[in-house]
Structure formats: C-alpha cells, structure tokens
C-alpha cells in the first residue's frame, strides 16, 4: 500500500497530486479497528472498547447510570466471546514463546535487528513466536520467526488510532480488551522474552514477574535481552526494592539477562529440560 505521494515521483520533481494515494491517506486517517471490525468514517469518537469499559459514570446521573448497568452486563458476553475466539484460534499452537519489546523500533536499528535475530533463533529452535502483532520489536520478531518457517503469531489490540497487524504475522487476531489478550500471551507460551522497550514492555514484564512470583504460572522462564537496556532497572530493583525488603533477593532470580538470541533460546531450553526431568506437564 502506498502511503506517500512523493513515492510516485522521481528525483527533484515536485510531487504530483495522486488521487489514489490521497484517497488512501484519507482512508488511513479515518480507519480504525473496533475489536475484529475495521471501520471507516466513524463519528470521531475515539474511545476504544477498553476505555468504554473502564469509564466512570456518575451514579447520581440516573439515566446514564441505568444505561451503563445494562451495557456492562452485555459487555460480559463480548468479553466471554473474545476469550472463546482466542482459545479457539490458539489451541493448536504447540510450543511457543511470547516476545515483547518496543513498538517504536525502526527497521535497520540495532534493537530491531536484534529482535529479528531473536525471532529467527526461537523459530529455528522449534518455537512458535507470539507477539503483540504491531510494529517495531513485534514486527521484527515476527519477521525472524517467519523467516525460519516457524508459526508467527500476532495478537493485536484495538487502539484509538489506526492499527495494522504487521506483515510478518501468519496467524493474527485483533483483541478489544487488553486483559483478554494478556491471558493469551501467557496461556499459550512456555516463556517470555523481553526486548528493549518502554511502558508497554515494562507492563508486560512486570505482569509476568508477578504471575511467576505468586506462582500463578510455574513453568515460565523470563528472559531479558540487552544487558545495557535492562541493567539500570535491575540495579534499582536490587538497591531499592530488595534493600527495603519490598521484594526478596530470590525474586530477582526470576529473570535472566542475556545479550545474544542463542543465549535466550538456551535459557528456555534448559528450563524445559528441567521441567521434563521433574516430570512436570506444561
């Protein structure tokens, strides 16, 4: 899909208006996803399903409050259907690893290329790769998985702006609710790999850590790739959180930090072998 009028001109010629491209751009601006639906020319209401769910309605406003109560009850069915669709789509996935990382990495940047190599190494080791299906590290990891002929899975999320599954996703879904999507990230993976990233990545990392710490999941290696990126956070956790006894020293052992994709694969494999030796089911 062409996204810029200048792509159709050569050298220093001024860009000619391109009717197809202009329509395309207008299209992209007015397009968004509501759950699995792609909609255009909406009324400008940019609230996502998640945001509507979490919105506070003043109970003193009788009319809105009554309407809200009714809608919330119906919403439960939609949430339920999203779980059903997710379980249906992913139940045949064999061994998989979920990869998180910055949505903002640009192709060609060192971290993007690192993410491609991570996807490729996991794929070559026989793992399907699950990502958030978006751009940056997600796209890169899906690309690596695709290149190594592994199943490349993208679990996208409805956002208030246009959102596409990246082109390297072979099995993709679009979720309305963050918490449903997160369940899929955990339920269908044997391990988490976190590449350098920002708030979204940190959220996903700490959710995984909390699940392992509280033994809600017991089969989960968590691997951080990129020592330099993660060093400051881990040092702070040791110097502040452990020192204040807000986390125990063993909690820091729940993550393994590596630099190379092959090391990440090795950590995941070794954990699987330990599990197998103990006779634990996945």
Ligand X SMILES: CC(C)=CCNc1ncnc2c1ncn2[C@@H]1O[C@H](COP(=O)(O)O)[C@@H](O)[C@H]1O
- Please report, as ranges, the residues that interact with ligand X according to CB under 6 A: 100-104, 132-135, 138, 156-157, 159, 163, 197-201, 204
Sheet with 96-100: list strands edge to edge: 171-175, 152-157, 128-131, 96-100, 191-194, 222-225, 255-258
DSSP state at residue 99: E
Give me the sign of the Cα torsion angle 174, 74, 55, 28: positive
Instruction: Report the nearest approach of ligand X to the CB of residue 206 (Å).
Output: 12
Q: Name which of 70 and 202 has its Cβ closer to ligand X.
A: 202
Q: Name which of 23 and 39 has its Cβ closer to ligand X.
A: 39
Q: Name which of 68 and 194 has its Cβ closer to ligand X.
A: 194
Instruction: Report the nearest approach of ligand X to the CB of residue 52 (Å).
Output: 19
DSSP state at residue 44: S
Instruction: Report the nearest approach of ligand X to the CB of residue 47 (Å).
Output: 17
Among all residues, whose Cβ is closest to ligand X?
A: 200
What are the distances in angstroms from CA 6 to CA 24, 30, 68, 103, 237? 14, 21, 47, 25, 48
Residue with tokens 């990440």: 264
Instruction: Report the nearest approach of ligand X to the CB of residue 246 (Å).
Output: 24
Q: Name which of 53 and 159 has its Cβ closer to ligand X.
A: 159
């Amino acid at each position: 899909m062409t996204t810029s009028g200048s792509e159709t001109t050569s050298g220093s010629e001024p860009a000619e208006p391109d009717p197809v491209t202009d329509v395309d751009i207008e299209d992209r601006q007015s397009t968004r996803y509501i759950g699995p639906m792609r909609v255009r020319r909406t009324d400008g209401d940019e609230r996502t399903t998640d945001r509507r769910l979490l919105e506070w309605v003043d109970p003193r406003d009788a009319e809105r409050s009554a309407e809200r109560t009714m809608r919330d009850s119906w919403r439960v069915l939609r949430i339920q259907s999203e779980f059903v669709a997710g379980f249906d789509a992913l139940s045949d996935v064999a061994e998989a690893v979920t990869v998180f990382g910055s949505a903002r990495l640009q192709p060609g940047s060192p971290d993007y290329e690192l993410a491609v190599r991570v996807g490729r190494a996991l794929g070559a080791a026989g793992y399907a790769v699950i990502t958030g299906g978006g751009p940056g590290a997600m796209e890169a990891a899906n690309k690596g998985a695709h290149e190594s002929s592994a199943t490349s899975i993208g679990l996208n999320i409805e956002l208030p702006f246009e959102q596409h599954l990246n082109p390297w996703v072979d099995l993709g879904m679009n979720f309305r609710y963050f918490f449903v999507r997160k369940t899929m990230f955990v339920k269908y993976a044997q391990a988490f790999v976190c590449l350098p990233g920002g708030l979204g990545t940190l959220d996903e990392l700490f959710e995984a850590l909390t699940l392992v710490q509280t033994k809600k999941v017991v089969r989960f290696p968590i691997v951080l790739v990129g020592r330099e990126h993660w060093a400051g956070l881990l040092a702070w956790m040791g110097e502040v959180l452990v020192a204040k006894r807000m986390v125990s020293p063993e909690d820091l052992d729940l993550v393994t930090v590596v630099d190379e994709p092959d090391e990440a694969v090795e950590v995941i494999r070794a954990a699987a072998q330990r599990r197998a030796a103990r006779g634990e089911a996945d």
